[in-house]
Amino acid sequence: MTAYGVLRSEWVKFRSIRAMLGCLAGAVVAAGSYGYLFGMTAAREYLGGSAADRAAFDPTEPAFRALVLVAVLVSAVGVLAVTSEYASGTMPVSVTAVPGRGLLVGGKGAVVALTTLLIGPPLALLSFTLSQAALAAQGAPSVGPGYPGVPGALLGAGLFTGLVGLYGMAFGFLLRRSAGAISLGTFLLILPGMASLFPKPVARWIMTWWPSAAGSRIFAVHPGTDLLAPLAGAGVLAAAVAVLLCAAVAVFRRRDV
């Protein structure tokens, strides 16, 4: 089968997964609802803060925070693209049709990456718009999508979600079970949210170098100098995903399906 034929086949399989639509719809709901809630929380902090706190207030800070939670559902999209075939027993058929397992993984990865890449900017725009609407409704400062740094963050969301989709796909190949792959993938994605439970040096390392935390730096409209620059953070996430994909291909080539 040619590379084009593999892509067509993988796209047909991808869009036929029933749970996929639920994950994508859940990502839209999460981006909008959490974006609004984070905006409301930031507005209350602004209104209850001191003059110094108000002067230092950054209305873009809560704008993309929801995408870290949306990443859990985007990762599940990548997982299901693989584990649905193991669950239905069609993976042996796919391997027979496409003997080159690297080509099969590449075709599946292309479909997952393109789909999750394209949904990133709209999800980021939804989160941004509703967070700023919540700020404005409470009388806190807000900005528009043309504010310096925001367009780049919106586009960067596509890179983030595309990498997270491939991250989930890699776990799908490594574990072959939806529940296990989604559970482990989710834990590793949200680990930075539990950084405060660790000693300060460890917490600092997690917030700086952990792939999901580093990758989220691409949403930093005002990145500062205390953590990684946006592109450097995206590079850390990309490197981690590349390692996982290499492991997934190696395991897939050696293990019976």
Q: In the prediction, which pLDDT does 145 show?
A: 92
Q: In the prediction, which pLDDT does 257 show?
A: 54
pLDDT by residue for the chain (257 residues), tens only, comes to 678 888 899 999 998 998 898 999 999 999 999 999 999 999 999 999 888 889 889 999 899 999 989 999 999 999 999 999 999 888 988 888 887 888 999 999 999 999 999 999 999 999 999 999 999 999 999 999 999 999 999 999 999 999 999 999 999 999 999 999 999 999 999 999 899 899 999 999 999 999 999 999 998 888 777 788 889 999 999 999 999 999 999 999 888 65
Which DSSP letter does residue 222 get? S
Task: Report the C-alpha gap between 195 and 214 in whole angstroms.
Answer: 13
Q: In the prediction, which pLDDT does 161 show?
A: 96
Q: Report the candidate in 121, 113, 122, 124 with the shortest Cα–Cα distance to residue 241.
A: 113
Task: Report the C-alpha gap between 204 and 202 in whole angstroms.
Answer: 5
Write down the pTM of the prediction: 0.92
Q: Report the candidate in 234, 243, 228, 232 with the shortest Cα–Cα distance to residue 215.
A: 234
Is residue 81 within 8 A of residue 16, CB to CB? The reply is no
Q: Report the candidate in 84, 79, 69, 78 with the shortest Cα–Cα distance to residue 18.
A: 84
Using DSSP's 3-state secondary structure scheme, residue 192 falls into helix
CA 27-204-117 angle, 5° bins: 25
Task: Report the C-alpha gap between 128 and 238 in whole angstroms.
Answer: 24
